[in-house]
Amino acid sequence: MLNLYAQFAAVEGSDLGTAIRASSWLFPAIEAIHLLALALLGGSLLLLDLRLLGAGLTLQSTSMVERETRPWLITALSAMVVSGVLIGCSEALKLFDKPAFWVKMAALAVAVTFTLAIKMPLAHRDVSGAKANWLAILSIGLWLTVALAGRWIGFS
């Protein structure tokens, strides 16, 4: 059986994890990047979700809004994952013991899969009506769950 705890211990003890912990400014800097990417992620998600709800850029087609937000969403998501992994490396064992971390990872997996495999392909085909509304509501709900669980890691 895979010993997950040992894996987390190895990550925490790695050169990368040690280097981030040893520096007084690296952790805050990575945290700041994580937050900047969050703003970009929020903007690119929201413009498409608003369009799916019949708000925001309604004079443009849903597929056009999907196409325009896609590169920003991918950029923001990549920056969030990279900075998030770096944050995780520095405190892997602390995270291992926090239910909020596992809730966030599960919600993140669902949110990313839903966004890339369901919401955006359907938006690309100009989905409309109740189906479009539900896509937007699910998207906002899933990403808020990720964000709130993430916030809870810092507090629990």
Partner 1 sequence: MDPLSQFTIWLAQTPWSIGLHESLYAYTWIETAHVIGITLFVGTIAMVDFRLLGWAWRTVPVSEMTARILPWTVAGFVLMFATGVLLFYAIPIRTWHSVWFRTKLVLLLIAAVNIWFYHRRARRNRALWDNAPRPPLIARACAAISLAVWLAVIVMGRMIAYNWFDCDKPQSGLVFAVAGCSTYPPDEF
Q: Which residues bind partner 1 (CB under 8 A)?
A: 24, 28, 31-32, 35-36, 38-47, 50, 56-60, 64, 68, 71-72, 144, 147-148, 151, 155
Residue (13 or 43) nearer to partner 1, CB: 43
Please report the DSSP string for 17-34 in residue order. Answer: HHHHHH-SSHHHHHHHHH
**Minimum distance from CB of 33 to partner 1 (Å)?**
9
Residues 6+ apart with CB under 8 A from 61: 126
**Minimum distance from CB of 122 to partner 1 (Å)?**
21
E-only strand ranges, the chain = none
**Minimum distance from CB of 151 to partner 1 (Å)?**
5
Report d(CA 146, CA 28) in Å as an integer. 21
Residue (2 or 25) nearer to partner 1, CB: 25
**Minimum distance from CB of 51 to partner 1 (Å)?**
10
Report d(CA 32, CA 128) in Å as an integer. 37
